[in-house]
Structure 1
Amino acid sequence: MQTDFDLYDYLLIGHGLAGAMLARELRGRGHRVLVYDEPRPDSASRVAAGLMNPVAGKRFALTWRALDTLPYAVAYYQDLGRELGANFLVEAPILKVFGSAQEQQQMVARAAAEPWAGFVAAIDTEPIAQAGLLAPHGGAWLRGGGYVRVAELLTALAQQGRAEGWLREETFHWEALVSDAAGASYAPGRLVARHVVCCQGAAALDCPYFAWLPLTPNQGEVLNVEVPGLTAAQALNRGAYVVPDGPGRFRVGATYRWPPFAPAGSSEGESELTERLAGLTPLPYRVLGLRRGTRPAVRDRRPLLGRHPALPWLSVCGGFGSKGVSLAPRLAALLADHLGGQGELWPEADVARYYKLYPADLPENKPRISSLG
């Protein structure tokens, strides 16, 4: 290999939640890791309100792998906060407000049959008398989750990465990557890596080696509002979430929009979110701003982890959709185990389930080959 190049065990592309968690996991195992990241204000990780909700959807079902991922994520963010001297995780209850008597009855019935495993602390079947809250049909109090201050967390990790030299905030050019059986080299960065992992979220669509995956960008909008008098003791959820974001301030979200996306300056998302907010509180509010992010959505709504079908030195870590905060810590550990030959991936998340879509004869799926010597 090139003797005048810097040698790394892992080269990660992207430092959203997926890349940040995987980088920390690999570094904690003693590997030499380098991360390339071009900060994007519209990345899903930086726009997300960070809600970790154990029960989701109109069917009030436990989220996928909740028992495996949520307790792990809580412990992980607590440990990360101690390491960096900041409190990123707020372990607040989530109040799932019932929108009708029918919803209330469905939740009560499901709570008797579902493996809730302690995630439901209580169910109120009477109106909830809380200042500023509209909950005439009661609601379910959920525990075991909360919300994470994602932007602050990623900023703190990026600051650490710049100081310690394992993060380069530069554009990565996939076409400049060359490989042989031993790994890959990247001449613009003067480096050689034993393994490369694409952690670019929705931007993974720009990676020619993974363009065959059924990954579709999905736009989400989050509204920042000020609502004096609304309690911050819990996060609210009913058609939208309302997550505390400082004294009297909240984040309301999120919309789900498939292409074509709303153009810049469109008020459609704001109208939708303020309507949902009005269903949860009669209090007056002031809109502080709206942010749009692009999620990496997968056809079967499951993450994408694992090795490229033809390039053993290349892997992908992403496709978390709207559940990145809950999933990223556990899946990063799972992928690190797998890449180290110490464990198998969960079949539902293994990218191998889509190998049949890989068009091996396309030129863009064949990297330039070099002896690296």
Structure 2
Amino acid sequence: MTDCDFLVVGHGIAGATLAYVLRQRGHRVLVYDPGQANSASNVAAGLMNPVAGKRFALTWRGAELLPFAAAFYRELEQRYEQSFFSETPIFKLFSSLEEQNAVLARSADHPWGDFVAGFDTTDPGLPGTHAPFGGAWLQHGGHVAVRELLAALAVEGTRAGWLRRETFDWAQLATSSDGAVYAGQVRARHVICCEGAAAVRNPYFHWLPLTPNQGEVLDVECPGLSSAQVLNRGAYVVPVGGTRFRVGATYRWPPFADGITAVAREELAARLSVITELSFAIVGQQAGVRPAVRDRRPLLGPHPTVPALSFCGGYGSKGVMLAPRLAVLLADWLDGHADIWPDVSLQRYNTLQSVGVA
């Protein structure tokens, strides 16, 4: 029998950060993950954007989450002697004079703290970029090489034995008031589900209001396009090295196709053509399924009736920004040092569990 303090199911950005935090605190952690190359975390461009959406609003808890995430990823860079996090300016292109005027009018109230570094009211002349109405310069954001980060953690986990590349079978989990036993072989004090969108099929958590959302991205070669910043107008354009960029992302609600689609390819290519008049070559396309939540807030905390189980996920398209702080929050709760924030707690949906609503 293998004994551990915490059994984490899933090694995407949610499970990987949580497992790391728990291990750093000296807990015995065992992680199960099948290692899918097209998981949402592996496909993601890892963008951390402080101001997003058509309303040009500061992202939820951005003043706390962004600096916390940046410090967390820099710590991992030092540990693994690899580069994962790029604190890169984001240039949000205005689509019209009306949008420019609306944003500038709002800026008088300073609603974005120090995340907006300034505005251009005319084309700033970025190489290869078509920005006739100017745009806003965002700071303290950037992007994370999520696939490389998860790979570095997985190499250590495989070598040290705390990561098992297996599909977890929830039917073989037996729970009690003081813990859980899996497949008659692993005994854990607590089990945390970090399965992402796959949790919609979880027998313990299927009632949560998770809605899978498919996103597709393109990898393009675009010589001459400025790589000194992330570009954002209807799509993000993230520099990933040399003349290569990742362009994304689409949002598709069920039902959606299994894998990449020609529709998404054409949509993203059209969006990129609005940002640049340069020619580009599509060299890759990927699709992943995000775990979106009805109220656009993460899901965190204990199962309402099974004390040995907790949930960590529902991060949608903001996983790299949310994961570090929420991993620490859940670890603090598991250690008995903090309460789960009400706006992310599973308790806000407990009535769904009691009536069996998915």
Range class of TM-score, shorter chain: over 0.9
Deviation (angstroms), 1:168: 0.3
Q: Is the 8 A contact 1:217 1:295 kept in 2?
A: yes
Match of 2:207 in 1: 212
Match of 1:238 in 2: 233
Match of 2:218 in 1: 223
Distance across 1 between alignment mates of 2:355 and 2:279: 57
Match of 1:176 in 2: 172
Distance across 1 between alignment mates of 2:173 and 2:61: 36
Spell out, residue by residue over 1:16-49, the C-alpha distance to the aligned partner (whole angstroms, 9 max, x if none). 0000000001111111000000112331101000
Q: Is the 8 A contact 1:60 1:110 kept in 2?
A: no
Gaps of 5+ in 2: none
Matched, 1:100 2:87: no
Superposed counterparts of 1:259-270, under 5 Å: 259-264=254-259, 266-270=261-265
Match of 1:308 in 2: 303
Distance across 2 between alignment mates of 1:153 and 1:266: 27
Select 2:64's aligned residue among 50, 68, 85: 68
102-111 vs 11-20, greater mean Cα deviation: 102-111
Select 1:320's aligned residue among 315, 328, 337: 315
Matched, 1:142 2:132: no
> Structure 1 residues 14 and 119 mapped into 2: Cα distance closer, same or farther (>3 Å)?
same
Q: Give the secondary-structure state (helix, strand or coil) at the position aligned to 1:129.
A: coil
> Structure 1 residues 331 and 361 mapped into 2: Cα distance closer, same or farther (>3 Å)?
closer
Spell out, residue by residue over 1:99-150, the C-alpha distance to the aligned partner (whole angstroms, 9 max, x if none). 1011111111222224322101111112221221000000111000100000
* Residue identity (%): 58
Task: Report the AA paired with residue 8 of structure 1.
Answer: C
Match of 1:368 in 2: none
Structural RMSD (CA): 1.4
Distance across 2 between alignment mates of 1:105 and 1:170: 53
Deviation (angstroms), 1:206: 2.1
> Structure 1 residues 361 and 318 mapped into 2: Cα distance closer, same or farther (>3 Å)?
closer
Distance across 1 between alignment mates of 2:325 and 2:102: 31
Superposed counterparts of 1:343-362, under 5 Å: 343-359=338-354
Distance across 1 between alignment mates of 2:283 and 2:85: 23
Q: Is the 8 A contact 1:18 1:324 kept in 2?
A: yes
Matched, 1:117 2:113: yes
Matched, 1:297 2:292: yes
Q: Give the secondary-structure state (helix, strand or coil) at the position aligned to 2:88.
A: coil
Q: Is the 8 A contact 2:259 2:287 kept in 1?
A: no
Matched, 1:329 2:330: no
Select 2:28's aligned residue among 15, 32, 39: 32
Q: Which runs of 4+ in 1 moved over 6 A?
A: none
Distance across 1 between alignment mates of 2:197 and 2:353: 19
Q: Is the 8 A contact 1:219 1:292 kept in 2?
A: yes
Distance across 2 between alignment mates of 1:233 and 1:101: 25
Deviation (angstroms), 1:266: 2.8
Select 2:243's aligned residue among 217, 228, 248: 248
Match of 1:90 in 2: 86
Spell out, residue by residue over 1:192-238, the C-alpha distance to the aligned partner (whole angstroms, 9 max, x if none). 00000000000111210001111010000001100011111000001
Match of 2:49 in 1: 53
TM-score, normalised on structure 1? Answer: 0.94
TM-score, normalised on structure 2? Answer: 0.98
Paired residue total: 358
Distance across 2 between alignment mates of 1:130 and 1:361: 54
Q: Is the 8 A contact 2:259 2:286 kept in 1?
A: no
Distance across 1 between alignment mates of 2:238 and 2:161: 34
Distance across 2 between alignment mates of 1:252 and 1:196: 36
